[in-house]
Amino acid sequence: MFDALLPQYTYRRLGVRLAANWLKGNNSLRNRLNLKNWSYFRRYSGTRIACNVCGETSKAFFDFPDLELRRDHRIGELRETLQCNRCGATMRHRTLASAMLRIVSAVHGQPLSSLREAAALGFGNLRVLDTDSFSPISTLLRQLPSYIVSSFVPAQPFDIELEPNRYNVNLERMGFADSSFDMVISSDVAEHVRGIDAAHREISRVLRPGGHYVFTAPFDPKCLTHHVLVDTSGPQDVYLVPKQFHGDPLTGGILAYRVFGRAIHSDLAAVGLRTEFLCLNNDQALIVDGDVFIAEKLTLRP
């Protein structure tokens, strides 16, 4: 009934949500209803998208993001909005899909325009671990037997199958065998992993030589190292800045430990991954300065 009265990706539903937040004492309205966002709204709302996730032609939905929060989290103002009104893919999802399609297209030897098209072709028989079990990408692709999705549910035993093709996984200590996957997908997850060095070692371990780690994360290319938000060098977290929480479908908010800087390249090189950072622009898919990393596991020499 609620969805019928207030359909997803409509301004009627957005208005009700903003009003509800205001009544609850959420004072972010001034960061959302401002001249810059109105300028974005006039420029992008209703723009046609050839969505490279679902493969449908849709219209962009602009949800008036909290611009101050975007700046605090060091992510682009448009990165988490401009949703496809068919599948809900944000600009970040479409950017991630672009990187994934680059790899699957190379396997097929022909350009593929959407993940739905890639799925229809069996996704190149690639075995994939996607660490976001709630995104439009995982919703579309988890039908494939070789596409595994994961969640992080500390209250339950790790490495169990929560439901078909969905596992409870701690990225710092994964139960998968060495060289299990051709691709590991991580969509704004790495900044929330406390022991990121351990997670990087595990990701490299479960990738096959020549496999790819495709990921997005808050990134500041001007920073030579990383912006450390929480000191995890000891057994207890030490907060260096006010706690930053990002939205999470399971918990409602999840702590961010860092914003990555350019040291991400050397960090991944140390575990055998050669990393490329892409800044993508695609008018058809409505991607504006989309940021994504592709890290390839180096083939071992005999």
Q: Judge whether 298 and 273 are in contact, CB under 8 Å.
A: yes
pLDDT at 13: 87
Distance linking the first and last C-alpha atoms of the chain: 62
Residue 248 CB neighbour total at 10 angstroms: 15
The whole model's pTM is what? Answer: 0.94
CA 73 vs CA 53, 66, 220: distances in Å: 25, 11, 10
pLDDT in tens, 98-155: 999 999 999 999 999 999 999 999 999 999 999 999 899 999 999 999 999 999 999 9
Which mean pLDDT values do the consecutive 10-residue runs of the chain (302 residues) have?
71 84 76 94 96 97 93 94 96 98 95 97 95 94 95 94 94 97 97 97 98 97 96 94 81 87 98 97 97 92 40
Backbone φ/ψ region at 81: left (φ over 0), alpha (ψ -120 to 50), beta: beta
pLDDT of residue 302: 35
Output the CA–CA distances (angstroms, integers) from residue 280 to 74, 97, 99, 136, 293, in the order listed: 18, 11, 9, 20, 11
Are 169 and 131 contacting, i.e. CB atoms less than 8 angstroms apart? yes
Q: State the CATH class of domain 91-297.
A: alpha beta
The residues of the chain that CATH labels 3.40.50 are 91-297
> Per residue in 6-32, pLDDT tens?
788 888 888 888 888 777 777 678 889
Question: Rounded to whole angstroms, what are the CA distances from 15 to 4, 22, 162, 210, 237?
Answer: 15, 11, 35, 47, 38
Contact 70, 79 (CB under 8 A): yes
Distance, in Å, from the CA atom of 86 to the CA atom of 190, rounded to the nearest integer, reads 28
pLDDT number for residue 301: 44
Q: Which residues contact 44 (CB under 8 A, 6 or more apart)?
A: 60, 62, 78, 82, 286
Q: Which of 85, 2, 96, 19 is nearest to 49 (CA)?
A: 85
